[in-house]
Structure 1
C-alpha cells in the first residue's frame, strides 16, 4: 500500500515537473520572440507620432534669431492728410490711430504712418507693402541695431500691394532669405515679425489657414491667410516658414474678427522685382474679359460639352479680346497649347506676359472648338474710387413677383437705364427685390442688377421673365446672365430651382 502511494507520488511529481518545464520553456520561447526585431518596430513609430502631435519640429526661437536682424521699422510721412477718407488694404478706413503716435495730429499738418519691411539684399533693398509708403514724401527706416536712415521708393505695384524701397550707401546688411510660397500647405507652421502698434520686432506664431484667398481684386489676389496675429504696423513685415524663409509679406487683417490675417505670397514679389528695379512700375498683359470657372451646375444648365476651362462672362468693348472675336459663353480651354483648367490659371498666365505679345487661344463655342490669336494690351490701372451705390427708385411701371425664383423684377425704362449708366442697347429687366431664403438669394443675385438672360434665352421684358420662370421645375439648374451697374460688368450666376 505504502509502495503504491510512493509510486503515485513520484509519478505526480514527475508530471508536475514536466508541466512546469514546458511552461517555462514556452515562456522563454515567447520572450525570445517578443524580444526579436518585429515587435520593436511599433515603439519608435509611437514616439514619432506623439512628438508630431505635441508641437512643431522647428524651434522658432532659432528662426527669429536669424531673421529678426533683417526686419526694419518704416515711418512714412506726408505733408498733409487727404480730405477724403480712403479704405486701405487692411480692410478698415484710415484711423488717426494706431497708425499715428504721440499727440493727435492736425489734419492739415504732416501725417505720419508706420509699418514694417525686410531687407532682401546686402546693399539695402527692402520689400514692404505699397499701402505703407503710398503718397509718402519722406520715408525713414530704422534697422534692428537702432540706426535710422532715409529711404527712397524704387518701385511699387498697387495691384498686388508690393513696394520696393532702398537705403543708399549701405553694405553688409543682414538679409532675409526668400522661400517658395508655391510649396506652402494649409496647416503649416509660420511666424510673423513686425512692429504692431509701435511695439518693435514683435513675433507671433500660427499656421497657414488658407491659400489663394481673394479680398480686393478677384483676378489678381492670391493671399495667404494665417492665424498668426497681425495688427496695424505689421504691414510689410515678413511671414516666415519653419525653415526660416520668407514666404509672404503681411498685408491685411479682418476688421470683423481676430486671428484672421493675410499676406502677399513672396513668389508674387520675386516675379515683379526685375520690373520694379528697372522701371519702377509693373506692366501686365491684358485681354479684356471677365471669366469664371466651369462647374457642374454651369455645365448642366448650359449643356456644356467640356468640364474645364475659363468661361467668358463679359468682353470689354474695344479690348484685345473684343477685337479678336471672343464672345460671352466662349470657354477657353488652352493657351499656347497649355491646357487651361480654371479661370484663375488663365488670368495669371496672361498677366505674366508682356503687353504687345501674342496669345494663341483654343476655345469652345456652341460645342465646337475654335482657335484665335489675341494681341495683348497693357492691363489698366485699378480704379482708386468705388462707383457710388445706385439704388433703384420706386416705380409704377409693371413689375412681376415670382415665387419660383424669388425675384421681383420690372421693365427697364430710359430714365432708369440712364441713371444706372447702363451700356447702350442693354435689354433686360431690373431686379428690384430678392426674396430672403430663396434660390436666387442663395445664388448671390443682388437687388439693383439687371437680368439679361436665363439659360441663354433673352429676357427683355417682364413677360419674358414670367415665361422663363414658369417653365422652370423644382430641381432644375438655371444660369442667369446678370449685369451689375456697380461693377460695370456682366456675370453668370447659377441657381437651383426649389419646390415652393
Structure 2
C-alpha cells in the first residue's frame, strides 16, 4: 500500500477529533460573558443612592415661602415686613397646612453615591455639592434622608457624607482594583433622579489613565456607559465589590467611562474620616521627562529617571540638598521612569515621614534622605455653612425649574434674594428681596457653590460685580466686601 493510503485513516481521525472539540471551544468562549447580571443588581441596589441638594432651608409655607415649618406661626422676631408677604403671596397661591403636611423639601439631584459603611458613610463626588444648605440622600424604597458633608478632596473630586441618625445601612465592600485587567467585565451603577437604581455593563478598557488637571489620580477606563447622573456611583467587579467610583471628566465628555480606583478611594475615605480633609506629601520640586539620549549623556539608564527643573526655596528637597539638574532615579527604592511616577508616590507619602530619593549627579548615584511636608493648600475640610450668604448679608434660594415655570421667571438659573440685611453689602448696593443674582465677576451663577468659589478667590478689599435680574430687566451693580 502506498504511503498516502496509510496516512489517510489518521488524517480522517484527526479531522473528526477537531470537529468534536469545536463545541467545547465555543462553550468555553460563551462562558467568558456571564449569563446575566441580575444577582449583582439585587445585591447592589440597596447601597446605590441618589444625592440631592437644597440650596436654602426655606420651605413653602401656608402663604408662600417661609423659613419655618408648614403650619407653624412664625416667631415675632423673625416675622418679615408686610411687603415680604405681599411679594411671595403673588408668587405662591395659598395652601392649607393639610396639603403641605407631608411636603418634601424642593430637591435637585446632583448625582449618585454608594454606602460604604453600615454606620451611614456615603462616598460620592464633590462636584455640585452645596457649600451651604442641606444635602439629602435617597435610598431605595425610602424617603430622602438628611446627610452632612464630612469633607471632600478637590484632586480626586471625591466627597464623604454621613447620613444623620443611627441605622444599620446596607453597604457595598471596597474591592481590590489591582486584580483588574483590561478585558475584565465591570458594571457601572447609578441612581438617577426619577429612575432609581440603574446599571450598565462593559469591560475594562485600560488602567492607570490620566485626565487633564488631575495629576494625583489614576483612573480606570471602561466602555460601560457613565452618564452625568451616574457620577459618584460605584464601578463593580463580578464579585459585587466596588473597584472604582464613577466620574465624568470636566469637559463633560461621556464617550468613554472613567472611575477613580478603589485603592485611591480607600485612602481618601480614611483621611476624611479622621480629619475631614486629605493631606498629600510634598517635596517642593518640579521635574520633567528625560529623553533616552539625554539620559545616556547624563550617565543614566536609557529608560529611567526624571530631570529636576526647579527646587522651591526652603522646601524639603532644598533642605535635603537636591538641586536643579539632578536626575531622580528611584523613590524609596522604586524606579521612577516618568514625572507621574514621582508625583503620585510623593503625594501618597505621609507628612513627617522620611523617604530615600536616589539621584544621579555627575554620573554618580547619590541617596538623599528627605522629610516629607504637607502639600501647600492640601486638603480642605467641609466649609462652614452660610459663608456666601453671611458675607453678602442675604438669604438666597436657587432658581429651580419648578420656580421658573410656576412664576414665569425670565431666567434659567441664578440665586433669588429672599431675605436681606439693608445695612449689609448687598443691601448697600441696592439689591431688593426678589432680585435674582445671575452672574458674579462675569461668571454664571447656577447655585451657591458657584458664588462660594468666586468669593473664596477674591482678595480682601476687592469689590464684586453682580449681574442682577429684577422683573423683566437686568442691571449690573458692584458690592464692597469687607
Shorter-chain TM-score: what band? 0.5 to 0.7
Q: CA deviation at 1:276?
A: 1.2
Matched with 1:230 is 226
Matched with 1:183 is 179
1:374 lines up with 2:353 in the alignment: no
Residue 76 of structure 1: which of 37, 44, 53 is its match?
53
Q: CA deviation at 1:359?
A: 1.7
The alignment partner of 1:346 has SS state of helix
The alignment partner of 1:46 has SS state of helix
> Could you tell me how far apart the structure 2 residues matched to 1:145 and 1:65 are?
14
Instruction: Report the CA distance shift for 1:76/1:256 in structure 2 as closer, same or farther (over 3 A).
Output: closer
> Could you tell me how far apart the structure 2 residues matched to 1:225 and 1:33 are?
47
Unaligned runs of 5+ in 1: 1-18, 81-102, 104-109, 385-500
Q: CA deviation at 1:78?
A: 2.6
The alignment partner of 1:210 has SS state of strand
Instruction: Report the CA distance shift for 1:254/1:78 in structure 2 as closer, same or farther (over 3 A).
Output: closer
Residue 316 of structure 2: which of 317, 320, 325 is its match?
320
Superposition pairs for residues 97-112 of structure 1, below 5 Å? Answer: 112=108
Q: CA deviation at 1:256?
A: 6.8
Matched with 1:242 is 238
1:343 lines up with 2:343 in the alignment: no
Whether the aligned pair in 1 keeps the contact of 2:277 and 2:379 (CA below 8 Å) is no
> Could you tell me how far apart the structure 2 residues matched to 1:383 and 1:155 are?
9
Residue 56 of structure 1: which of 19, 29, 33 is its match?
33
Structure with the bigger RCO (C-alpha within 8 Å, sep 6+) is 2
Instruction: Report the CA distance shift for 1:208/1:336 in structure 2 as closer, same or farther (over 3 A).
Output: closer
> Could you tell me how far apart the structure 1 residues matched to 2:265 and 2:252 are?
28
> Could you tell me how far apart the structure 2 residues matched to 1:275 and 1:165 are?
13
The alignment partner of 1:131 has SS state of coil
Instruction: Report the CA distance shift for 1:44/1:327 in structure 2 as closer, same or farther (over 3 A).
Output: farther
> Could you tell me how far apart the structure 2 residues matched to 1:347 and 1:58 are?
42
Instruction: Report the CA distance shift for 1:50/1:224 in structure 2 as closer, same or farther (over 3 A).
Output: closer
Whether the aligned pair in 1 keeps the contact of 2:55 and 2:130 (CA below 8 Å) is no
How big is each residue's C-alpha offset from its partner over 1:315-363, in whole Å with a ceiling of 9 and x where there is no partner? 2233211222222331222233444444333322222222122222210
Query: What is the aligned residue count?
Result: 329
Instruction: Report the CA distance shift for 1:141/1:257 in structure 2 as closer, same or farther (over 3 A).
Output: closer
Matched with 2:25 is 46
> Could you tell me how far apart the structure 2 residues matched to 1:286 and 1:77 are?
37
Whether the aligned pair in 2 keeps the contact of 1:254 and 1:261 (CA below 8 Å) is no
Whether the aligned pair in 2 keeps the contact of 1:68 and 1:201 (CA below 8 Å) is yes
What TM-score do you get using the length of structure 2 for normalisation? 0.60
> Could you tell me how far apart the structure 1 residues matched to 2:293 and 2:7 are?
67
Residue 248 of structure 2: which of 244, 248, 252 is its match?
252
The alignment partner of 1:219 has SS state of strand
Q: CA deviation at 1:255?
A: 4.1
What TM-score do you get using the length of structure 1 for normalisation? 0.58
Instruction: Report the CA distance shift for 1:31/1:291 in structure 2 as closer, same or farther (over 3 A).
Output: closer
Matched with 1:305 is 300
How big is each residue's C-alpha offset from its partner over 1:79-112, in whole Å with a ceiling of 9 and x where there is no partner? 49xxxxxxxxxxxxxxxxxxxxxx9xxxxxx994
Matched with 1:100 is none
Q: CA deviation at 1:163?
A: 1.3
